[in-house]
Homo-oligomer: A and B are copies of this chain.
Amino acid sequence: MGFFEKKLSGKRVYSGKILNLEVDEVGLADGSVSVREVVRHSGGAAVLYVEDGKALLVKQFRYPYGKEIYEIPAGKIDEGESPYAAAQRELEEETGFKAELSPLARIYPSPGYTDEIIYIFLAKNSTRSRQNLDKGEFLTAEFIPLDKVVNMVESGEICDAKTVTAICKYLAFVQKK
């Protein structure tokens, strides 16, 4: 038998461009009442593309941290879009590659306060198309030797959760097979 939290009431306190914020009153296992602050997000899709011993990363300014960081290509899933289609679209827009994808991982980035799911795919049979960034999107895409990327994950220079997950799952469950 597990624990459960029952929604008693809820209000939308912010409706935005990439997220909404809801604050709900919930009934807990002991009958007491608490508050849950929940970011409602449509989900993210990301792609690990490894070719000739190199991984394709993008370097992008991330405003919440005030700096550029390395990540695998990724973006927000649009309304009504599948994770697969979003991942294909983001890969092509951000890097100019089209590819077939297979599921690699699915992560809950911070389950205490967001309902986002990030779907991570592995690319294969890629072909070159062309980069086509969204308006207001600025990033550079580059192939980096996988050994170097692994070192950057180990040292903590790469700390984006989806990128760490993708590289580590690739090492642990794909490459070794």
Contact = CB atoms under 8 A, between A and B. Distances in A.
Interface stretch (A78-86, A93-101, A153-161): A153-161
Contacts of A32: 135-136
A152 interface: no
B110 A63 contact: no
Contact of A110 (B4, B69, B153, B161): B161
Chain multiplicity (copies): 2
B18 A113 contact: yes
A71 interface: yes
Contact residue range for chain A? Answer: 35 or more
A131 interface: no
Interface in A157-174: 159-162, 164-165, 168-169, 171-173
B16 A23 contact: yes
A63 B35 contact: no
9 contacts: A2-B68, A14-B14, A16-B37, A17-B37, A19-B113, A36-B63, A64-B114, A71-B111, A171-B172
